[in-house]
Amino acid sequence: MNSSEQRPIRIGLIGAGQRGQQHLEAYQQIPGAEIVAVADINEALAQHVAAQFKIPNVYTDYDHLLQRDDLEAVDICLHNNLHRPAAVAAMEAGKHVYCEKPMAGSYADARIMYDTAQALGRKLYIQLFTLFKPETRAAKLLIDDGYLGEPYHARSTGFRRRGRPYVDGYGTPTFVQKRHAAGGALYDMGVYHIARMLYLLGNPGVRRISGKTYQKTPMDPARETSSGYDVEELGLGLVHFTNDVTLDIIESWAIHLDGFEGSSIVGTLGGVRLQPFGYYHNLGDLEINSTMDLEQISYRWKNVHQGGDVYDSAGHHWVAALQGRVELLPGGTSRWQPNHLTGKSPSQRKLSYSGCLMLTLRSAGR
């Protein structure tokens, strides 16, 4: 990719906690990303982070950051229930928005974000790194090229043996409090896995959903008390799509088992499992179980198809989209192709939306 096409994108970061700092580290590897300002209600933290990453402007009120007219985009790394107010304020202030997953704490909030982006013509993108993993790309190619035949069932899984945030040692208490996070395992990790399966299935409409959540595994008493824990640690679901495809879901932060099989999709002619990656089909009397070199797909994409860095990560993809180098997944072309291969310009599709889970859940509730 010609570096002259990687024009500087001036970004303001809102929320300088764990994730905000990880984003700042990631931006250092993204050509053109220029972090101009940071906002956090914790002033000492904001100052510390600004000094560490050489960010010249610091705010404790994100509205003041949004008043800057030299920012093209903001990156929101606040707790889930703050995504909607911050994202809407940013879009109303003329900024494009990159927001941490989950898109919001509720369907209603996500819908407002989506509608605001559409009404104002802003780009709104949700960080879902699973869309950019080589196994997702490989599965997408197999599906698009017909190697699964007609997909009819998918499975979304996520496993932690005992990995609840904070109470099992990682993250802050806000992760496990409904008033901040809205939900537990499903909201935290589930959205990564479910969104990927929805993307691979072509984001079909939903007819109905049933599900159940649990919080059963004992936790350290001191951490339990100090955490204010009131979210689920295990989420289960079954989704019926309007095209007769089904999706079952199991997402665990804590469970007395040694693992789940990886997410999968089965079709009339073949099946694909994402982790460990496998493609399964029959050749006459032969049942073929294949694996493949997933690194090759990234290599060939970059070097043979000259896609460059546009699918390297959700952050690379977001910045490349602002630079006009790619259409945002999954709203753009169904294939992994940069604009020069599809012949479409990003302006032909101003808005992309990757928080498909929320809209899907809404349509089920009709």
Ligand X SMILES: NC(=O)c1ccc[n+]([C@@H]2O[C@H](COP(=O)([O-])OP(=O)(O)OC[C@H]3O[C@@H](n4cnc5c(N)ncnc54)[C@H](O)[C@@H]3O)[C@@H](O)[C@H]2O)c1
We find the least distance from the C-beta atom of residue 172 to ligand X, in angstroms, to be: 4
Q: Which is nearer to ligand X, 17 or 331 (CB)?
A: 17
Give the whole-angstrom CA distance, residue 82 versus residue 233: 22
Q: Which is nearer to ligand X, 186 or 200 (CB)?
A: 186
Instruction: Count CB neighbours of 225 within 10 A.
Output: 11
Q: Which is nearer to ligand X, 29 or 306 (CB)?
A: 29
Going 62 to 67 to 71 to 74, the CA torsion angle's sign is: positive
Instruction: Count CB neighbours of 75 within 10 A.
Output: 29
Q: Which is nearer to ligand X, 20 or 163 (CB)?
A: 20
Q: Which is nearer to ligand X, 193 or 273 (CB)?
A: 193
Give the whole-angstrom CA distance, residue 100 versus residue 80: 8
Going 33 to 85 to 124 to 71, the CA torsion angle's sign is: negative
We find the least distance from the C-beta atom of residue 42 to ligand X, in angstroms, to be: 4
Give the whole-angstrom CA distance, residue 28 versus residue 47: 19
Spacing of C-alpha 267 from chain mean position: 25
- Residues that bind ligand X in the complex, under the rule CB under 6 A: 14-20, 39-42, 45, 62, 77-80, 82, 100-101, 171-172, 174
Q: Which is nearer to ligand X, 279 or 353 (CB)?
A: 353
We find the least distance from the C-beta atom of residue 114 to ligand X, in angstroms, to be: 17
Q: Which is nearer to ligand X, 18 or 225 (CB)?
A: 18
Instruction: Count CB neighbours of 202 within 10 A.
Output: 14
We find the least distance from the C-beta atom of residue 287 to ligand X, in angstroms, to be: 39
We find the least distance from the C-beta atom of residue 354 to ligand X, in angstroms, to be: 14
Q: Which is nearer to ligand X, 177 or 323 (CB)?
A: 177
Q: Which residue is nearest to ligand X (CB)?
A: 17
We find the least distance from the C-beta atom of residue 145 to ligand X, in angstroms, to be: 32
Give the whole-angstrom CA distance, residue 123 versus residue 31: 19
Q: Where are the beta strands (DSSP E) in the chain?
A: 9-14, 33-39, 57-59, 73-76, 96-99, 124-126, 151-158, 206-214, 234-241, 246-252, 264-267, 270-273, 278-283, 286-290
- Burial category of 352 from C-beta neighbours within 10 Å (exposed 0-12, middle 13-18, buried 19 and up): buried
We find the least distance from the C-beta atom of residue 261 to ligand X, in angstroms, to be: 24
We find the least distance from the C-beta atom of residue 171 to ligand X, in angstroms, to be: 6
Give the whole-angstrom CA distance, residue 264 versus residue 283: 20
Give the closest residue to 356 by CA, choosing from 196, 222, 165: 196
